[in-house]
């Protein structure tokens, strides 16, 4: 009976992972923030850890590949966001001079 329970948990985990991956495909890059991609990478990392702890190579490999792809996408978006924020900060510095900090609101 215990083996069937482990299989059901593994299948459920794979189902959730597949649904989150397929569900994320309909979202454009502009709609998905870097935070949501970071959270997806963390969730897939948890799936990888589960696969490793339960000695389930299929779940571990699928989770590892998903984690790597999600993390790569997160870093790419984070770099773009950081570049936009630096550009915004530079605009405030040019516009307001030495008093720019009183007008600048980070992330607004």
User: Largest Cα–Cα distance in the chain?
Assistant: 71
Look at residue 4 in the predicted model and tell me its pLDDT.
62
> What pLDDT, on a 0 to 100 scale, did the predictor assign at position 92?
82
Query: Could you list the mean pLDDT of each consecutive 10-residue stretch along the chain, which spans 108 residues?
Result: 62 65 53 83 94 94 94 93 89 82 74
Q: What is the per-residue burial (b if ≥16 Cβ within 10 Å, else e) of 5-39?
A: eeeeebeebbeebeebeeeeeeeeeeeeebeebbe
The whole-number pLDDT of residue 11 equals: 64
Residue 1: what pLDDT? 47
Alpha carbon of 89 to those of 77, 81, 97: distances in Å?
A: 18, 12, 11
Q: What is the pLDDT of residue 17?
A: 65
**pLDDT at 77 (0 to 100):** 92
Question: Can you give the pLDDT at residue 99?
Answer: 78
pLDDT of residue 65: 95
**Rounded to two decimals, what is the model's pTM?**
0.62
**Residues, the chain:** 108
């Amino acid at each position: 009976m215990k083996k069937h329970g482990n299989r059901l948990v593994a299948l459920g985990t794979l189902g959730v992972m597949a649904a989150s991956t397929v569900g994320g495909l309909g979202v454009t890059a502009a709609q998905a923030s870097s935070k949501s991609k970071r959270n997806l990478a963390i969730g897939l990392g948890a799936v990888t850890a589960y696969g490793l702890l339960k000695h389930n190579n299929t779940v571990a490999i699928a989770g590892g590949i998903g984690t790597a792809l999600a993390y790569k996408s997160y870093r790419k978006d984070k770099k773009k966001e950081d570049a936009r924020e630096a550009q915004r900060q530079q605009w405030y510095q040019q516009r307001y001079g030495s008093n720019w900090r009183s007008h600048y609101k980070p992330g607004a």
